[in-house]
Structure 1
Amino acid sequence: MTEQVWVKSSYSGGQGNCVEWAPSRVVATGAVPVRDSKDPHGPALRFDVSAWSAFVAGVKAGDFGA
């Protein structure tokens, strides 16, 4: 999973604590690949699209605190 374009979360802080995802892979695999931007060659987690969408909605709603 090193050839796709990774997108950094708009909620990521300036300290490098970032989550990245590869939107191009969602269409190809039906799953959302997510990785830690500090370890771009490390493993990526894959989430079901509906689970990832629910997580993102929860983040936007502030369900997980600061």
Structure 2
Amino acid sequence: MQEQSGTSRQAAQQKMESGGLMRIGEVAALLDVNASTIHKLPLPSIRLGRLLRFDPKDVSQLIAHSKEPVVS
């Protein structure tokens, strides 16, 4: 199971780099969370019929804005 998760994460990273729209499973693999968690995030999505797609730029912004400084 761990190997498949790593493979999914690599595929998601490649999608981020290519700029193609990401599926919910790819975003979840990249962030290492369940797909249901993605629905709860303030992440803009594109609806294509019943499908949700995410712009890699929005995912990158979410990651950047979610970082907290390290307190020592």
TM range (shorter): 0.3 to 0.5
Q: TM-score, normalised by structure 2?
A: 0.35
TM-score by length of 1: 0.37
Q: Quick check: which has more Rg, 1 or 2?
A: 2
In terms of fraction of residues, the more strand-rich structure is 1
Compare the two structures and name the one with the higher helix fraction: 2
